[in-house]
Amino acid sequence: MRLEAKPAPTLAVTLLFPLAAIVATLLLVSLLVLAAGASPFSVFYLVARGAAGSQFALLETLTRATPLIFTGLAVAVAFRAKLWNIGAEAQLYIGGVLTVVLGTGALPLPSAILIPVLMAAAMAAGALLLLGPAVLKTRFGVDEVVTTLLLNFIVLLFVSMLLEGVLKDPMGLGWPQSQKVVAEAQLPRLIQGKRLHLGFVIAIIAAVVVWIVTKKTKLGYEMRAVGHNPEGARFVGIPVNLVLMKTALLSGGLAALAGFSEVSGLKGNLTLDLSAGYGYTGIVVAMLAMLNPLGVIASAIFVAGIFVGADAMSRAAKVPSYIADVMVATSLLTMVVAILLTRYRIRWR
């Protein structure tokens, strides 16, 4: 068996294979649902209703999708240039740390100024965090998969140290949590009394901006060229190492915005459970979107809907909510196969 590259796929083929991947995911998960003693149709209906069957459910899905859009964009940008950023979780937490450090009263500024400052500070921290592995990759050939993955654990331990030390809330009854950010540092809610906040709008704007950067600018062209063929890009004069550095700065900054939005928009403070694995799930989101920044919006809402809907389904159908993790993981695997079949055909010798 060998793989033979296909010519540029048509729009119909590009849409057909991802759709087939979703159908394959549902069929595979149906086997587990049947093994759990439930009807697949009933379970999938309950998941869909739990994700979008009411205003509350839909808003919860969009709230859960907000950090996933940021981390999905971070992964999509990095993977486009073949920079394998597995450390979006670390960048998310470091963005949350900077938000708390500067947003708990250190900067007495009005909201219109303080929120952009916090965003910029969080992005700078995340960008610098990913710049280290990028330098190690370009200067010494160190595999960034290893360095970015290990940074996740290092940063989480660092955050734990801060929450037990200098950032610990003296009024928190001993719990490892930071102080609340001031009112001027909090993102306003889009609907009064609901949890959906301005971070969702910022995430949509970020997706549009990233799409423009990757599709309409010189940097975007260089990122795609380096991702397709780094040696060819270097031959025609593209500074490959510099492009990877710029990609790292952009990717790390986007992931850090997820931490900023969770602290300023939803939680209000920093805790060790700030992220429900959003950095890792961002990889699934980016792959489901086929690294398209605008597609990240849809795939993030899809993945968020699975998690939100699975919680409601579990209570009604008595099927463990962990089925959501299986669905997301299976969708990643089937999407990888779909992308492979979109670009290559299998030839049997």
Q: What is the pLDDT along the chain (349 residues), one digit of tens a residue?
A: 888 887 777 777 777 877 888 889 999 999 999 988 889 999 999 999 999 999 999 999 999 999 999 999 999 999 999 999 999 999 999 999 999 999 998 889 999 999 999 999 999 999 999 999 999 999 999 999 999 999 999 999 999 999 999 999 988 888 899 999 999 999 999 999 899 999 999 999 999 999 999 999 999 999 999 999 999 999 999 999 999 999 999 999 999 999 999 999 999 999 999 999 999 999 999 998 889 999 999 999 999 999 999 988 988 888 888 888 898 899 889 988 888 888 888 888 7
For residue 344, what pLDDT is reported?
83
For residue 5, what pLDDT is reported?
81
For residue 335, what pLDDT is reported?
86
Instruction: Classify the C-alpha dihedral 280-283-286-291 as positive or negative.
Output: positive
For residue 51, what pLDDT is reported?
93
What string of H, E and C letters represents the secondary structure of 176-217?
A: CECCCCCHHHCCCECCCCCCCEHHHHHHHHHHHHHHHHHHHC
How many Å apart are CA 67 and CA 299, to the nearest integer?
A: 12
Q: How far is CA 345 from CA 2, 90, 131, 234, 333, in A?
A: 8, 37, 37, 29, 18
